[in-house]
Amino acid sequence: MRGRGPLRGVLGLAATAVLLVAPVTALAQTADWEDIPVTLELADDDYFAVVSSTDGTIEAQQQGTTRSSGYPAPAACDGRAGDCFTSDPDGDGSIGFFGTRAQVAAALASLRFKVNDDVALADSTLNVSTSTKPTSEGTLFYNPSNGHYYEQITSTPSITWQDAETGAAARTLTVGSGDDEQTLTGYLATVTDLAESAFVTDKTGADVWMGASDDYQEINDALAEALTGVTITEISETSNVVTVTTSAAHGFVVGQAVPLSGLTGTGFEDLNGVHEVTGSTETTFTFEGTGTDITAGTGGGSGTFEFANQAAADGFWFWVDGPETGQHFWTRGTFTSDTTQAKDTGPGERVNERFDAWKTGEPNGDSGAEQFGILNYSCGTPSTCTSQSNWNDFAGDNTQVDSYLVEFGPLSSEAVASSSTEVEFSIPELIPAVSVSNLALACSPDPVAPGGEVTCQVSGGDPSIDILWRASLDEPFASQGVTLDAAGAGTFTFTAPADADGRTILVELVEWSVTASVAVTGEIVPSSLPAGGGTDEPPLAMLVAAVVLAGALTGRMLRRRPLSG
């Protein structure tokens, strides 16, 4: 955008310069609400609905619905009757509520959206998700980033990890509708990236069981499930490298721990134990051998992927529930009997960059007595947790834990399409503001000798504003653009004309502009247009200039008008 203002100084050859600075301001813009009604075909049932957007603020009238825990509570609507659910611009941009089909439908039909202050957008997207309300008590959440649902279940006074796993497997959730309806079975949550960690950290309370374990029996069961139908077909060792071939895809990655058990036959018995994968293809993996070459064979045909005992498994953390069942994500950092595993204070580390959020000094195993993972350790409230550091390891019967997190997913593509809707819409693009009320101009030396150099300082502007200056002696004789630095300051120089003796030089800041991404109908145009620039409607430069010069539109919002193509 570009504005013009009478910021000028008079530089005299025999008198002190007089600078006349006009207090001109381009006002900050605020977005209006845009009505974005959403209509969904819902069967006659009770529903849970979540609406989210990262581009601005969402508001929906309550319409008899009730807030889902973890989402914003209803409060007075902004300028319309009743109470509304309003998303937090500084939060995850979501609102969530329960209600009957009619209540949820009415709330969705009342949706409106407002761009956050000082943000220019031409298009935006709302994500709207619905599922049938669970019949039993629990806190339900929907994560638009992965399309999964979560439910926090609380048990008084506490619950063991094993009972939590059983309880999670007993939970079901129905999503979609009609022929696209899908019933999902729950599992203890598996948190596999930072975005998911941030979501569940924000939505859950303290000390919550998740589906992570280094218990050897749980890992063995998980591996048996993940490797169903996968058998060892051949083993060989050459030059200290052992190669294992499997009958189907094994899913092992470099750096992970693979236990081998039950191998028999000359040379093969020595391979029983836990090994670090050093190379992997779909149906082979390698690890460091003992140095004795062995002929390819099946290892007696009885080899399995099992840890022999807890000492062998301690410190090797696996996901033991959900789609990631049998996935090794954290290693104690050594494959010897040393089980030191803690983050930051030990050699523990991620496997193949798989995600973790262990607190500093965890997991520590506590002498082999802590084999089960929890979320939000001693957080008190979600706001004190961080998504990078909140996990701990506990004994499975720790009485401090009274809840667990159930995850539902993934959904079939049909159910996703039926239960989660992306609503795309266009909004007026706002004109970013440029503050010029504090601009100052100072030039020296004064007086200046004919043919001498003048240095001028601009200050008090916004960072990165482009300033156009001009020096005149009856007529302009010098002009140039200068971009203000991070402090809103800039410097320019010029040479006084040789015939200026006894005359007055006028120094002006005649224009200022800021780069903006301008989306228009029909064509893409430069972000700064010359005054009077060749379109059927007033160019952006003239629109902003009118505000700066007149100063008469205080409190009004300027919207971008489409420029003709």
Confidence of residue 162 (pLDDT cuts 50, 70, 90): very high
What pLDDT sits at residue 534? 27
Confidence of residue 194 (pLDDT cuts 50, 70, 90): very high
State pLDDT tens for residues 503-552. Answer: 888 887 776 665 433 222 223 323 222 222 222 322 222 222 222 222 22
- Identify the H or E element spanning 109: helix 101-109
Give the C-alpha separation, 343 to 388, whole Å.
12
Q: Single out the residue of 67, 47, 37 nearest to residue 129, CA to CA.
A: 47
161-165, 519-523, 551-555: which has the minimum mean pLDDT?
551-555
Confidence of residue 27 (pLDDT cuts 50, 70, 90): very low
State pLDDT tens for residues 305-329. Answer: 999 999 999 999 999 999 999 999 9
What pLDDT sits at residue 547? 20
Confidence of residue 145 (pLDDT cuts 50, 70, 90): confident
At residue 152, does pLDDT exceed 70? yes
What pLDDT sits at residue 26? 33
Q: Greater confidence, 9 or 180?
A: 180
Q: Which CATH superfamily is domain 148-224+318-410 in?
A: Mannose-Binding Protein A, subunit A (3.10.100.10)
What pLDDT sits at residue 437? 61
Average confidence (pLDDT) over 32-48: 85
State pLDDT tens for residues 209-219. Answer: 999 999 999 99
Quote the DSSP letter at residue 547: H
223-237, 362-376, 504-518: which has the minimum mean pLDDT?
504-518
State pLDDT tens for residues 472-508. Answer: 888 888 888 888 898 889 999 999 888 877 788 888 7
Q: Greater confidence, 281 or 477?
A: 281
Give the C-alpha separation, 318 to 331, whole Å.
9
Average confidence (pLDDT) over 45-61: 89
φ, ψ for residue 557, nearest 5 deg: -100, 130
What pLDDT sits at residue 73? 94
Is 228-304 in the same CATH topology as 148-224+318-410? no
Contact 463, 487 (CB under 8 A): yes
What pLDDT sits at residue 20? 28
Q: In the structure encoding, which two tokens stand for residue 453, read together? A: 């150099």
Instruction: Kindly indicate whether the domain formed by 228-304 is annotated with CATH number 2.40.30.
Output: yes
What pLDDT sits at residue 189? 98
At residue 418, does pLDDT exceed 50? yes
41-55, 174-188, 235-249, 432-446: which has the minimum mean pLDDT?
432-446
State pLDDT tens for residues 388-404. Answer: 999 999 999 999 999 99
Average confidence (pLDDT) over 278-306: 88
Average confidence (pLDDT) over 38-49: 85
Confidence of residue 46 (pLDDT cuts 50, 70, 90): confident
State pLDDT tens for residues 56-99. Answer: 899 999 999 999 888 999 999 999 999 999 998 777 789 999 99
Q: Greater confidence, 46 or 527?
A: 46
What pLDDT sits at residue 242? 95
Q: Where would I find the beta strands (DSSP E) of 21-122?
A: 34-35, 46-52, 56-61, 66-67, 75-76, 83-86, 94-100, 112-115
Sequence-distant (≥ 6) Cβ neighbours of residue 41 within 8 angstroms: 177
Quote the DSSP letter at residue 36: -
Average confidence (pLDDT) over 116-143: 74
Give the C-alpha separation, 493 to 486, whole Å.
20
Range among 53-62, 187-196, 463-472, 556-565 with highest mean pLDDT value: 187-196
What pLDDT sits at residue 563? 21
Average confidence (pLDDT) over 457-462: 83
Q: Would you report the helix, strand and coil content of the chain in percent, each value rounded to 5?
A: 15, 35, 50
At residue 452, does pLDDT exceed 60? yes
- Identify the H or E element spanning 317: strand 317-319
State pLDDT tens for residues 97-106. Answer: 999 999 999 9
**Domain assignments of the chain as residue spans, ordered by start:** 2-28+433-550, 34-144, 148-224+318-410, 228-304
Average pLDDT, the chain: 79
